[in-house]
Structure 1
Amino acid sequence: MKVRWDIFCSVVDNFGDIGVTWRLARQLAAEHACTVRLWVDDLRAFERMCPEVDVQVSQQWQEGVDVRHWPRDWVATKSADVVIAAFACQLPHDYMEAMAQRKRPPLWMNLDYLSAEGWVVGCHGLPSVKFKGVQKYFFFPGFQPGTGGLLRESGLIERRQAFQLDPEAQQQFLQSLGVFPPAGARLISLFAYENAGLASWLDVLAADRQVTHLLVPHGRILGDVQRWLEVEVLAVGDVHQRGTLTVQVLPFVRQEQYDRLLWCCDFNAVRGEDSFVRAQWAGRPLLWHIYRQDEDIHLDKLDAFLGLYTEGLSPAAKAALIALWQAWNADGDMAKSWTMLLEHWPEMTRHAEEWCLEQGLQADLATTLVQLYGNWI
């Protein structure tokens, strides 16, 4: 019999939580023959990821996944063999009672936030709270052996490499989004939270001798772009030019389309967790806008990742990359650090591909979860 999985996702904001759980649910169903129910408390947020979803119904099948609306008033439901509470969301009490009533308790895990901090390796797989004899365990995604790894579908890197070696496929994809960059233009994607430092970056791009085409998927950074352009309204489909910089607003696209967008670009500015990981699989230089947390503890996570990611870079290239990321995450002046980074562009490009291939040697997150369940039973 197929192993039954329940994944619970409480959408907080920014689509990162639903983005991660939707990718995971699809991969478990498609590659590991699991029966997966994805419980989502906000179907309208999910609709941005999967336009086919019907926000009016409580149960539906999407891409091999049983998608359920997670209601406030919980209806009695049998628990699955594996239960994942994504990002420490609190399961319905009646569902936990159902877990406790099983002859064989389910494997219950908290899928935690991604971090490169050293303590993650020691905490991955440790027991957490217990409910009436049902033990919950920590599951930490990560970049190092001893963690849960990263979400990566089978053959993803090979498909990405083939796409990047096919200029015609890239052109057709960009044209499907209404993007027609001039020959030789540097393509940059920008998906970020609000950032006061954006203006200084756009200023230096507009003054550069290199032509740049900036692709901005609809999102929270759009207001800062609008202010820099000094326009009253900035909407999907708009194209504006200032100096050698062209700014184009794209719609919020499906996950597989966003992957290909990252693959097309020479540099990707991303945010949060899901797009951050996908930019690494793109094998191109990137800039991460980490989600801000109280008391600036997010900066510890940023520094921990930079400590891993910059290994192998020359001292000058490492300094340039760190300066750029730190300026971006402090709403700082981007002009000097961006100019420094450009001096090491070939090295940055090689390093991004090497990092991707290195991470690809580790087991992916879905496979690690399946193996963990196999060992547990």
Structure 2
Amino acid sequence: MNAAAPLRWDIFCQVIDNYGDIGVCWRLAADLAGRGQRVRLWVDNASALAWMAPGGAPGVQVMPWPTQAPAGGLGDVVVEAFGCEIAPAVVAAIAQRAQAPGAPPVWINLEYLSAEGYVERCHALPSPVLSGPGAGLVKHFFYPGFTAGTGGLLREPDLAERQARFDRSAWRAQHGLAPAALAVSLFCYEPAALPALLALLAQTEAETEQPVHLLTTPGRAAAAVRALVGSGEADENIHGIGLQPNTIKREKLSISYLPSVPQAQFDQLLWGCDLNFVRGEDSLVRALWAGRPFVWQIYPQSDLAHQGKLHAFLDWLQAPPSLRCFHVVWNGLDSGALPALDPATLAQWAACTQAARARLLTQDNLVTLLLGFVAKKR
């Protein structure tokens, strides 16, 4: 079969918590479809797509999680995202398709993102199925990553063009940001260092006399901030610009509570701010593409495996000492003080992010690599 011919993809996603899993799977599905592939996204909870992707995407069908074999069978490529377990009847449908005339389906385990050394060692390795209705078939591991020996990162072909067209000044004015304000986006869980961050932002404004504006994303981040600051002080005019809806003032710090927005608008949030706090997997990648200073809150794991994962990422990032220290404290791995957010420090962080972004742009993106991998297996 011609490797360039469109294929039918079945992507399976179980939403555990937060939005990272469905966020990554939607970006993957939409990117594949944008390149001419036909995609069915099977998901057990698609509610977040109502605001994450309200218009859907041409070529992508969102389907309810199946417990029986899908009508018409499975597609040319089956992707199990993040270790989700599809029903035995669905596995049987994969086996049935493998026995039919023509190329067998390519079965892929899309794994979590990490900068740890095992990613290069395990990427693209086969995983024979030894029991159950899929016995005798072979899955393959596909590991996203930050180096050329991995599966790369999601990056749409038009991303650079969209960033170049972005009117940052207009976006900031629309969001009630003073031209000289230090705009900080906050997408986090409930870090123990959140009170220290709020105090640091207020201190930064007092010391630099630069307005500081915190843009807080909905959900856990907004709830955590509200629990600390209460309703705040309403003000009809902040820094000479009319107060935006859902914006309060705590001492000198302006805090806006943002609504849920589609993924493209979340990307713009990261492009428009001067410092971004991100969490999980999807927003980490988008922060890298944004090229702005950022701090990542890794998803905490009970066995503390996230510690090694965080340090491996900071090593790859070539983070300067102040940025490494901030990450360690922000992620609760140290109880020390947060480093200052002075202009020189933020400039150093920006240079670090932009250098990392430049390294990544020399490598192929995840969908390009995935398409190439599938073509070789068919």
Interval containing the TM-score (normalised by the shorter chain): 0.7 to 0.9
Distance 1:37 1:80, change over 3 A: same
* Corresponding residue number in structure 2 for 1:195: 191
Higher mean alpha-carbon deviation, 130-139 vs 364-373, is at 130-139
**1:88-127 matched pairs, under 5 angstroms:** 88-102=83-97, 103=100, 104-127=103-126
The correspondence for 2:168, drawn from 157, 162, 170, is 170
Report deviation, 1:278: 0.3
The correspondence for 1:7, drawn from 7, 11, 26, is 11
CA distance in structure 2 between the partners assigned to 1:286 and 1:80 by the alignment: 39
CA distance in structure 1 between the partners assigned to 2:253 and 2:325 by the alignment: 23
What is the CA deviation profile of residues 184-235 of structure 1, one whole-angstrom value per residue up to 9, with x for unaligned ones? 001110000012211111112112233211101102022221132133999x
Report deviation, 1:333: 5.5
The correspondence for 2:294, drawn from 286, 308, 311, is 286
* Corresponding residue number in structure 2 for 1:367: 368
Contact 1:197 1:332 in 2 (8 A): no
CA distance in structure 2 between the partners assigned to 1:129 and 1:265 by the alignment: 46
Report deviation, 1:346: 1.9
Report deviation, 1:259: 0.4
- Note the residue ranges of structure 2 that are not aligned, 5 or more in a row: 235-243
Report deviation, 1:52: 4.5
Contact 1:106 1:134 in 2 (8 A): no
- The reply to whether residue 156 of structure 1 matches residue 159 of structure 2 is yes
What is the CA deviation profile of residues 136-184 of structure 1, one whole-angstrom value per residue up to 9, with x for unaligned ones? 1110000011100000001313432442xxxxx22433455xx111120
**1:1-377 matched pairs, under 5 angstroms:** 1-31=5-35, 33-52=36-55, 62-72=57-67, 75-102=70-97, 103=100, 104-130=103-129, 131-163=134-166, 169-174=167-172, 176=174, 179-208=175-204, 209=208, 210-231=210-231, 237-310=245-318, 318-330=320-332, 336-339=337-340, 342-377=343-378
Contact 1:16 1:274 in 2 (8 A): yes
CA distance in structure 1 between the partners assigned to 2:316 and 2:6 by the alignment: 38
Partner of 1:221, secondary structure, is helix
Contact 2:197 2:338 in 1 (8 A): no
CA distance in structure 2 between the partners assigned to 1:74 and 1:133 by the alignment: 19
- Note the residue ranges of structure 1 that are not aligned, 5 or more in a row: 54-61, 164-168
Distance 1:233 1:69, change over 3 A: farther
Report deviation, 1:274: 0.5
Higher mean alpha-carbon deviation, 37-46 vs 279-288, is at 37-46
Contact 2:69 2:92 in 1 (8 A): no
Report deviation, 1:282: 0.1
CA distance in structure 2 between the partners assigned to 1:233 and 1:182 by the alignment: 18
Contact 1:120 1:140 in 2 (8 A): yes
Contact 1:196 1:332 in 2 (8 A): no
Partner of 1:278, secondary structure, is helix
CA distance in structure 1 between the partners assigned to 2:224 and 2:6 by the alignment: 48
Letter in 2 for 1:329: N
Aligned residues: 353
TM-score normalised by the chain length of structure 2: 0.88
Distance 1:27 1:121, change over 3 A: same
Report deviation, 1:337: 3.0
CA distance in structure 2 between the partners assigned to 1:87 and 1:151 by the alignment: 15
Report deviation, 1:239: 1.1
Letter in 2 for 1:134: L
Higher mean alpha-carbon deviation, 338-347 vs 151-160, is at 338-347
Contact 2:232 2:248 in 1 (8 A): no
CA distance in structure 1 between the partners assigned to 2:15 and 2:340 by the alignment: 38
Identity %: 41
Contact 2:67 2:90 in 1 (8 A): no
* Corresponding residue number in structure 1 for 2:239: none
Contact 1:324 1:341 in 2 (8 A): no
Contact 2:172 2:178 in 1 (8 A): no
CA distance in structure 1 between the partners assigned to 2:171 and 2:32 by the alignment: 27
Letter in 2 for 1:216: T
CA distance in structure 1 between the partners assigned to 2:187 and 2:355 by the alignment: 23
CA distance in structure 2 between the partners assigned to 1:14 and 1:114 by the alignment: 16
CA distance in structure 1 between the partners assigned to 2:368 and 2:231 by the alignment: 48
TM-score normalised by the chain length of structure 1: 0.88
CA distance in structure 2 between the partners assigned to 1:342 and 1:199 by the alignment: 21
